[in-house]
C-alpha cells in the first residue's frame, strides 16, 4: 500500500506503541503536522521551545520505561533539541528525535534553515540517520527504536528532508531488524559471577553502590534481595536514588560530592564495592586515586566501555543488571554483618548529615522534608540542577522505585519543568512534584504555558534564594565570597504563573509551608509555590573538587542540630 513519507512515519510510530509526541512545528515538518490529524491515537503536546520537547520526551521515557519521541523543524528547531539530546545521552535515556530537513535538492547549498544536525549530534546520540528516500523510513524507524531501547539505552536522531515526507512509497513495517554488528551482552559470564560471589561471601565490610543501570533494567527486587540476603548496605549515585527504598534499614543514601558523610566514610573503610549500573563518574568518586582504596571492586554494567574507564576493577561483569543480580543471588550465601552495620550506624550518629536546624528561618531542606512528609515519600519528583537538586536528593526519602527524575551527567539547568510535564503525561495517576531553583526554572519557564494548555497537574516548588545558588556557594568557598554574576533580581513567580493561568502562592515562613503544600496537592491542575528561602544557605556535606572523601566539609553548625535521619529540631 502506497503512503506518503509522513504517513509512513506515523504508521511506524503506531506500531512501536507510541502514544504521545512532544514537538514544535516549522516549515520542513509541515507535511508531518498536516498528517497528524489522521492519527488521533497519538497525542501531540505543543511545547514552547524545542529544548522543552527533548526534556519532556526524555523524562517520559525515564518514568515509563517506553521511548520518548520529540519532533522539531530544521535549522534552529533542530539545534534547540541539542541540549535535551545531550542530557538524554549522558543519562542513558531512550529518546527518538525526529527532525525536518530542507528538501533534497537544497541540501548542501546553505538553504534557509539548513543545518547538518546529524553532524552536530553525532557525539551525543547512540546513532543517527538522514533518510533520503520514503521507502527507507520504515526500516530506519524500526532500527532507531531498537537501538534506543536495547543494550545501554540512548537517543537516536532521524533527520527527514521535507520532500521525503511528501514522497510516496509502499509501506510494510519490518518484523525485525538486521544489525549484525550490534549485539548487546545481557547475560553475565558465569565464571565472573562465581568470582564475584566468592568475594562477597568473604568480605567483612562490603557495600553496594547502585546507579541508574538498576532503574533502567528494573532490577529493584534483585538488588533488594542481594542486600538483604548478604546484609550489605546500599549506597546510590544521584541517578541511582529510588532504585533502593530510602527508608530501608540498609539504605545509606547518596555518595559523592554532596553525599551523606557517613556513606562517604563507609566507602573509605569498605573492603569490597559491588558497583551496579554506575559509571564511577567524578562527582561520585571525587579523587579517583583515593576512592575506596582499601576495597576490591566488582563492576556490573551493560556497557563494556564503562568497565575500567575511571576506576580499576577487580571483577568486571558485562551484562544486564537484572539478569546478573538474579544469577549472583543464587551464588551468594546468607550472613549477618552486625559489626559493620553497627560501625556505619555509629558514623551516622556522629555525622548527622540529614538533620535540619531549628529556628524561624525558612530552610530549603525543611521545604523538601515537608513535601516528603506530605507525600509519604511516594511522589515522582523531578528536579533541575543546582542546590535544590542536592537538597532534594538528600532530604526526600524516596520509597517507590524509579521516583527521582533528574539531570545527572550533563547537569542541565531548566530540565525540571518540561521534564515534570513529560513525567506527568506518562504517569497521569502519579503525584508529580517539580522541584525547581529560581535560576534553573527561568531557563525553560515558558513551559508553564504547556502545563496550562495541556492541563498537566504538576506541582511546582521553587526554592527561591535570589541567587544562582550552587555557583554562589562555590564562590563563597573557593573565590573569597566574590559573588560575580550570581545574584538574581526577580521575577515575581506568582504573577508569572497567574499570567499563564496557573494558581500560585508565596511562602516565607515555616508555618506556611505545609498548608501551601496541601493546597497545591488538592488543586486538580498545575500549581506553583514560591518558597522564599534563606539566601545563603549551603549544601552540606561537600567534598571539595580534587579532594578525597575524608576531606569532606560538614555543616559548621551541625552540633546545634538533633541527629537522626530526616528529623527536624524544633
Per-residue model confidence as pLDDT tens digits over 536-568: 999 999 999 999 999 999 998 754 344 344 444
pLDDT for residue 223? 98
- Block residue for cell numbers 550489605: 232
569 pLDDT above the threshold of 90? no
Cβ–Cβ under 8 Å, residues 385 and 31: no
Q: String of b and e for 246-255 (b: at least 16 CB within 10 Å)?
A: beeebbbbbb
Q: Please give the angle made by the CA atoms of 433, 212 and 235, to the nearest 5 degrees.
A: 90
pLDDT for residue 558? 57
Which 3-state string (H, E, C) describes 284-299?
Answer: HHCCHHHCCCCCEEEE
* Helix intervals (H) in 80-211: 82-90, 117-121, 137-149, 162-166, 190-202
What domains sit in the chain, N to C, each tagged with a CATH number? 2-170 (3.40.50.970), 190-350 (3.40.50.1220), 364-539 (3.40.50.970)
Distances in whole angstroms, Cα of residue 550 to Cα of each of 186, 313, 390, 539: 37, 22, 20, 17
pLDDT for residue 292? 98
Other beta carbons less than 10 A from residue 34's beta carbon: 14
pLDDT for residue 57? 99
Per-residue model confidence as pLDDT tens digits over 171-206: 999 999 999 999 999 999 999 999 999 999 999 999
Q: Which of 423, 429, 426 is nearest to 404 (CA)?
A: 423
pLDDT for residue 567? 43
pLDDT for residue 279? 97
Cβ–Cβ under 8 Å, residues 401 and 220: yes
pLDDT for residue 557? 73
Strand residue runs (E) in 131-265: 156-161, 168-170, 206-210, 234-236, 251-254
Per-residue model confidence as pLDDT tens digits over 256-290: 999 999 999 999 999 999 999 999 999 999 999 99
Mean pLDDT score of the chain, rounded to an integer? 96
Q: Which of 98, 153, 83 is nearest to 130 (CA)?
A: 98
> What is the rounded distance in angstroms from the CA atom of residue 353 to the CA atom of residue 506?
28
Of 4-8, 58-62, 354-358, the one with minimum mean pLDDT is 354-358
Cell of 487: 545574584
Rounded mean pLDDT, 220-231? 98
Report the residue count for the chain.
570
Amino acid at each position: 500500500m502506497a503512503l506518503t513519507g509522513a504517513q509512513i512515519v506515523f504508521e511506524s510510530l503506531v506500531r512501536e506503541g507510541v502514544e504521545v509526541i512532544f514537538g514544535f512545528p516549522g516549515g520542513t515538518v509541515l507535511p508531518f503536522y498536516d498528517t497528524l490529524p489522521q492519527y488521533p491515537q497519538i497525542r501531540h503536546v505543543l511545547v514552547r521551545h524545542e529544548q522543552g520537547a527533548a526534556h519532556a520526551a526524555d523524562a517520559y521515557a525515564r518514568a515509563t520505561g517506553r521511548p520518548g519521541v520529540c519532533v522539531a523543524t530544521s535549522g534552529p528547531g533542530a539545534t534547540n533539541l541539542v541540549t535535551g539530546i545531550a542530557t538524554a545521552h549522558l543519562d542513558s535515556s531512550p529518546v527518538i528525535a525526529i527532525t525536518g530537513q530542507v528538501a533534497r535538492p537544497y541540501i548542501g547549498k546553505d538553504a534557509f534553515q539548513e543545518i547538518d544536525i546529524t553532524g552536530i549530534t553525532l557525539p551525543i546520540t547512540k546513532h543517527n540517520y538522514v533518510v533520503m528516500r520514503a521507502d527507507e523510513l520504515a526500516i530506519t524507524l524500526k532500527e532507531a527504536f531498537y537501538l534506543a531501547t536495547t543494550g545501554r539505552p540512548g537517543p537516536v536522531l532521524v533527520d527527514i528532508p521535507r520532500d521525503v515526507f511528501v514522497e510516496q512509497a509502499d509501506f510494510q513495517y519490518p518484523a525485525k531488524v538486521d544489525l549484525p554488528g550490534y549485539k548487546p551482552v545481557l547475560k553475565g559470564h558465569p565464571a565472573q559471577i562465581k568470582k564475584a560471589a566468592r568475594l562477597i561471601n568473604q568480605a567483612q565490610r562490603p557495600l553496594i553502590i547502585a546507579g541508574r543501570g538498576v532503574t533502567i533494567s528494573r532490577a529493584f527486587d534483585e538488588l533488594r534481595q542481594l542486600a538483604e540476603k548478604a546484609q550489605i548496605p546500599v549506597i546510590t549515585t544521584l541517578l541511582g536514588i529510588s532504585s533502593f527504598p530510602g527508608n530501608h534499614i540498609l539504605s545509606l543514601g547518596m555518595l559523592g560530592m554532596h553525599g551523606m558523610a557517613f556513606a562517604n566514610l563507609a566507602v573509605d573503610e569498605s573492603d569490597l564495592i559491588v558497583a551496579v549500573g554506575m559509571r564511577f563518574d567524578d562527582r561520585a568518586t571525587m579523587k579517583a586515586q583515593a576512592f575506596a582504596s582499601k576495597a576490591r571492586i566488582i563492576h556490573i554494567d551493560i556497557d563494556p566501555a564503562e568497565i575500567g574507564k575511571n576506576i580499576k576493577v577487580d571483577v568486571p561483569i558485562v551484562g544486564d543488571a537484572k539478569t546478573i543480580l538474579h544469577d549472583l543471588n543464587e551464588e551468594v550465601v546468607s550472613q549477618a554483618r552486625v559489626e559493620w552495620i553497627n560501625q556505619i550506624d555509629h558514623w551516622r550518629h556522629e555525622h548527622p548529615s540529614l538533620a535540619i536546624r531549628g529556628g524561624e528561618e525558612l530552610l530549603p531542606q525543611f521545604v523538601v522534608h515537608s513535601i516528603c512528609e506530605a507525600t509519604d515519600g511516594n511522589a515522582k519528583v523531578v528536579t533541575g540542577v543546582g542546590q535544590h537538586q542536592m537538597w532534594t536528593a538528600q532530604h526526600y526519602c524516596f520509597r517507590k522505585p524509579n521516583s527521582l527524575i533528574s539531570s545527572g551527567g550533563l547537569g542541565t539547568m531548566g530540565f525540571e519543568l518540561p521534564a515534570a510535564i513529560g513525567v506527568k503525561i506518562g504517569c497521569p495517576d502519579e503525584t508529580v512534584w517539580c522541584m525547581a531553583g529560581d535560576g534553573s526554572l527561568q531557563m525553560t519557564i515558558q513551559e508553564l504555558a504547556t502545563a496550562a494548555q495541556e492541563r498537566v497537574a504538576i506541582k511546582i516548588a521553587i526554592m527561591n534564594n535570589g541567587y544562582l545558588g550552587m555557583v554562589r556557594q562555590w564562590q563563597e568557598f573557593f573565590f573569597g565570597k566574590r559573588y560575580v554574576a550570581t545574584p538574581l533580581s526577580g521575577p515575581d513567580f506568582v504573577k508569572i504563573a497567574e499570567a499563564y493561568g496557573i494558581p500560585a502562592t508565596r511562602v516565607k515562613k515555616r508555618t506556611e509551608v505545609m498548608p501551601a503544600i496541601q493546597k497545591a496537592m488538592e488543586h486538580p491542575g498545575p500549581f506553583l509555590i514560591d518558597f522564599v528561602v534563606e539566601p545563603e544557605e549551603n549544601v552540606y556535606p561537600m567534598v571539595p573538587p580534587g579532594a578525597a572523601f575524608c576531606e569532606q566539609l560538614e555543616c559548621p553548625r551541625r552540633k546545634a542540630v538533633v541527629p537522626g535521619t530526616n528529623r527536624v529540631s524544633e
